[in-house]
Structure 1
Amino acid sequence: MDRNIVYPGSIPQDVDILYPNLNAMVGIAALTAATLGTGTLVDGLACTPTTPASLTVVVGPGSITQLSGLDATAYGSLPANMVEQVVKTGINLTAVNFTFAVPASSGQSINYLIEAAFSETDADPAVLPYVNAANPSQAFSGPNNGGTAQNTQRVQRVQLQVKPGAAGASGTQTTPGVDTGWVGLYVVTVNYGQSAITNSSIVVAPGAPFIPYKLPALRPGFSSMQVFSSSGNFVVPNGVTTLRAELTGGGGAGGYHASMPGGGGGAGGRAVGIISGLTPGQVIPVNIGAGGVTPASPGTGGNGGMSTFGNMQAGGGFGGIGGTATGLISNAGGAGGNASGGQLNLTGSVGTDATVVAYRGGDGGGPGNGRGASGANPGIPASSYGGGGGGGGGSNSSPATGYPGGQGGGGLLVIEY
């Protein structure tokens, strides 16, 4: 930021005061642009009904930042400069009231638009003392001793105004468009016969550029985590526009054969990716696939369910082979689930085949897989999310008997932001 140099003994000039003010504004403008950007943003300016309620609303203190020329008119002895653009901030420290008229005809409503713009004006005029060269002990009153008042401040404020729409049958009335150079903040709806404005009468205008979050809400990298093991909704927190998601599908169940061991279930697919362009408060549905279920009677293990999050999909693993067929050398393990929508899409591990000669079921696809059972035992369920269940074992008794496979692991979503 520029700084003035003043030397001892030199005669003070007006620019010795003007430039520090200008340089401070430019420095703050640069910092504002670096943190908030150059687009128009609004902070505060909350719109609320009066207490007691009436047909008046109160727009509270707040600010607006907007790109503007350095100075539209001369600033003291410094010339106007609209070529160089800086982000300026208008600040209102006091509230502004607006009173609305009700429609004149029964059954009608009016939408009023409250809009805002950056305003810079010269104000606080005063008659200033000037140096009287002929008699320095007696100051002139104003320039050339003419008694003329001059503005003493260049103030930056939020200019607010109300723009009424056309009255129309309730539910069909339209909101007026935003004027050039302004931004819409609120729409206030007033109905025929209404005597007071309530909170339900006031809505934020579409596209209103309110600052969505403050610095304390910003998060350093991926510092927080949410885990979904069942379906629900993810609500984007304040300060979050980008997240990392790892999505896993449900694992398939192990096979259950009538007279032999069953194959292991396949693991669920896995999608990993970075999702950007999010808006705080945005709701993203989460669907978590269930683990495959072992059939109640001999048969192939149930498939795992698909998990979804936004455009990401992680398919469920397939169940291990079982059933009642005879003469098999082995029962095959289930295939792993596929994945899509991530930057990294991984197919789940295949469940292993049953070893009939050893009467051992196939292991489920991993990680988090269940182990295949040996002998007269049911397969081991998956120990973690997305793993395939182990295939049921078998006995060499007469008649030979197979046992149920283990259940697959349910899907999972891990979100880091």
Structure 2
Amino acid sequence: MDKDASVMDRPIIYAGAVPFDTDLLRLGRYAKEGLGRFAEMLVGSQTIMASGLICQMSDSDLSVTIGRGAIMAPDALDATHIGGISAGLDADFSITQVLFYSDAPQTLTIPLTGVDITVYAVCRVQDDTLDVLPFYNAGKPDQTMAGPDNRGKALPIRRTGRISFAAGVSAPSAAGAIIVPLYVMSIPAGIGTLSSIVPRQSGVFLPALPELATMSFAQQISQPQALCVASQILTIPEWARQVELRVIGGGGGGASSNALTPEVGSFSGGGGGAGGDCWGIYSVDPARNASLSVTVGQGGAAGQRGGPSFVTYDGTPFLTSDGGGSAYFAAAQMALGGDGGGTGGGTLWNQTGGGGSDGQNGTVVFAGNGANGPWGGGGKAGYLLGANATRYGAGGGGAYSTRVAGQAAAGGRGYQGLVIYRFLH
């Protein structure tokens, strides 16, 4: 293609100007590349896709007939010079989607039995349709020449992408051609016809674009949500373009008690706070990086904050939910509930977790229950032992009273965090 030319360029030809052969050749090249780039937008730059090419098995001998059809595959725009030797356009090795076709049924013989045979499409660009063209005679302008040298030499007048077929146990060798496996068939030894054989299509027979659009939509609305209850690396499917994530931090632990009565000290501990809760949808590119790193925060033990939950892609955090805070005694007779975990990065919501209940203020005693997570489960305040939380992100309950003065009665443990995910097209 000309220097600095693009796929949307068009030659400008003026009335009265002498047209060159390259003007028309550029028209064809621009059209080919424009269609190829458009096809890349629809199906991708590396996709090989077949349409038609129905395989019909013979009921009288060992032959198959491949019907009309087409194959689209990445190939050079023009692997060789096109046009006259002294003019024309140079080769252009830019890769784009190229269409190859077979406009009539073709029959080929199966060479062996007792083996698996593959039918291959052999796609190649060729110059054909020979014709003797009239050429301008500079010496006698009122006469034309039969061919460039007036000797009746025929020249090819069409460059086209054609498909032929081959069958065998291995791919054929064909320099410059694109070899595409179409069908595989298991041929029993000694059979005389193929009437009982069912060919198996290869993966190049993709659904048509309307079907792909329908499948994509159905996949987006039907892909089930999955849970990550432990830190791990998720593999992104090659079809995915987005991921939906909901991330919940671990619940905080309840405060412990070390007094027999409220009059003498730290009698009733507060409840742990709930982990944060955020939700969003994010873009991914599995061709560049197919790994999604998930960290799930653990629930905090008595007097400890819950761990954060977060998801990282390509070294960048998508969203984070902090763990709920632990309950604690700010003073000997002042038990405060844990604060809720904060969030960041959610595109649909960012919700701070609920705070745990206070346990004691002087000689006034409250029930130091743990904060509920998104599905409840906050641990209750408990005599001699705070209850553990029972649902994702919930806080543990505070303990009140002890068996012996100065002996600790442990607060309840917060429940671990959670990551919910779903890949979308």
TM-score (norm: length of structure 2):
0.57
Q: Which residue of 1 aligns with 2:418?
A: 411
* Residue 369 (str. 1) matches residue 369 (str. 2): no
Query: Using a 3 Å threshold, how does the CA distance of structure 1 residues 320 and 116 change in structure 2: closer, same or farther?
Result: same
Q: Which residue of 2 aligns with 1:7?
A: 15
Counterparts of 1:269 and 1:3, CA distance in 2? 59
Q: Aligned residue for 2:66?
A: 58
Match of 2:127 among 102, 112, 121: 121
Cα RMSD, aligned residues only = 5.8
| Partners of 1:73 and 1:256 in 2: CA distance | 86
Give the distance between the partners of 1:249 and 1:48, measured in 2 at CA: 55
Tell me how far 1:154 sits from its aligned partner: 1.0
Distance 1:142 1:102, change over 3 A: closer
1:257 & 1:58 partners in 2: Cα distance? 83
CA contact (8 A) 2:251 2:396 kept: no
Q: Closer, same or farther in 2 for the Cα pair 1:144/1:410, shift >3 Å? A: closer
Residue 184 of structure 2 is matched in structure 1 by 188
1:253-402 paired onto structure 2 within 5 Å: 254=254, 260-261=268-269, 264=272, 267=275, 276-278=284-286, 310-321=291-302, 332-337=303-308, 341-342=312-313, 343-344=316-317, 348-349=322-323, 351-355=325-329, 360=335, 362-363=337-338, 365-366=340-341, 367-372=352-357, 374=359, 375=365, 377=367, 379-384=369-374, 387-392=393-398, 394=400
Give the length in aligned residue pairs.
Answer: 352
Instruction: Please give the alpha-carbon distance, in whole angstroms, between the structure 2 residues aligned to 1:211 and 1:77.
Output: 45
Instruction: Look up the equivalent residue of 2:56 and give its one-letter code.
Output: T
Q: What residue in structure 2 maps to residue 203 of structure 1?
A: 202
88 and 236 in structure 1: CA distance in 2 versus 1, 3 angstrom threshold: closer
Distance across 2 between alignment mates of 1:216 and 1:269: 33
In 2, distance between residues paired with 1:373 and 1:248? Answer: 23
Any idea what SS the aligned residue of 1:351 has?
coil
- Aligned twin of 2:227: 230
> What SS does structure 2 have at the residue aligned with 1:61?
strand
Amino acid at match of 2:187: N
User: Cα–Cα, structure 1 residues 381 and 213, in superposed 2: closer, same or farther, change >3 Å?
Assistant: farther
Unaligned stretches of 5+ in structure 2?
1-8, 261-267, 342-351, 360-364, 376-391
Give the 3-state SS of the residue equivalent to 1:81 in structure 2: coil
Percent same amino acid among aligned pairs?
13
Q: Partners in 2 of 1:188 and 1:264 — Cα distance?
A: 63
TM-score (norm 1): 0.58
- SS for the counterpart of 1:64 is strand
Tell me by how many angstroms 1:202 deviates: 3.0
The alpha carbon displacement at 1:22 in A equals: 2.6
**Cα pair 2:327 2:398 within 8 Å, conserved:** no
For 1:320 and 1:358, locate their aligned partners in 2 and report how far apart those are by CA, in whole Å.
22
One-letter amino acid of the counterpart of residue 198, structure 1:
V
- Could you say which residue in structure 1 is the equivalent of 2:115? 109
Letter in 2 for 1:191: I
Partner residue, 1:22: 26
Deviations 1:272-296 (A, max 9, x none): 997854269x9x9xxxxxxxxxxxx
Q: What SS does structure 1 have at the residue aligned with 2:328?
A: coil
- Residue identity opposite 1:43 in structure 2: M
Aligned counterparts of 2:104 and 2:254: Cα–Cα separation in 1: 69
Tell me the distance in 1 between the aligned counterparts of 2:278 and 2:148. 83
Shift of the alpha carbon at 1:211? 11
